[in-house]
Amino acid sequence: MYIYKNEILSTMEKDEGFEVIKEYDDGDDAQGGVLVKWKGFAFYISFNDKLALNIKNNSDADDERIYRSTAYDFQITFVMAAKDLKGDSVAKYKIANFANMKTDLGAVYIYREDAGVFEVAVRNTGIVRYKTEDHIRSVVIRMILTGSIAVQELTGIINSYMDAPNAFLDSCKGIS
């Protein structure tokens, strides 16, 4: 069962802990996201309602199989600035790859060179039995907490790099 944008926004509207900072408009090809704050955590929620609707097709076409296996209905993304991190872009990519290889969390670490930031994304895979407000709230909070732990994990990896860059990069050998 998928959780759609209007259901999440409705749930957040009724919960005083969530503060919607900015809601982006839906476009023709992309669905607008929401910048939110909850208990001091600022994050971005992006939605994928259109893809979630498209994967209901039980086609055996390769594209449909890929959609069904990798689809998510929404994701929460945290952003960490990398401007204070000394080192070239290759080292920053290696940090993100190292974090992806070592984590046990359901988060994905990405270094975006164009923006000079690390993104920590947590996706909801659409596996939910009930869609009550309490269930939706708990899914969102679980994702926020997973993301906050992932940010702490990435901070630890960055600190390890900052303490001994050459030793850290040596430990990354074999990870591209």
Of the listed ranges 61-65, 118-122, 140-144, the one predicted with least confidence: 61-65
113 burial via Cβ count (<10 Å: 0-12, 13-18, 19+): exposed
Residue 128: HSE in the Cβ half-sphere, 13 Å Cα cutoff: 22
Instruction: Compute the distance between CA of residue 18 and CA of residue 32 in angstroms, rounded to an integer.
Output: 18
Judged against a pLDDT cut of 90, whether residue 118 lies above it is answered with yes
**CA distances (Å), origin 114, targets 84, 110, 117, 118, 175:** 15, 12, 8, 11, 22
**Residue matched to tokens 């919607």:** 20
Structure tokens at 46: 């992006």
How far is Cα of residue 30 from the mean position of the Cα atoms in its chain?
Answer: 17
User: Which one is predicted more confidently, 173 or 157?
Assistant: 157
pLDDT tens, residue by residue, 70-101: 667 788 999 998 877 777 788 889 899 999 99
User: Token pair 């900052």 is at which residue?
Assistant: 162
Q: Does domain 5-171 have CATH number 3.40.50.11540?
A: no
Residue 155: its pLDDT value, please?
92
pLDDT of the residue at 28:
62
**Model pLDDT for residues 17-72, shown as the tens digit of each residue:** 899 998 887 766 656 789 999 988 899 998 876 665 555 556 667 766 666 666 67
CB distance 140 to 148 below 8 Å: no
pTM to 2 decimals?
A: 0.81
Counting residues of the chain whose pLDDT is more than 90, the rounded percentage is 27
Please name the residues in contact with 107: beta carbons below 8 A apart, sequence gap of 6 or more: 120, 121, 122, 146, 147, 150
SS3 content of the chain, % helix, strand, coil (to 5): 45, 20, 35
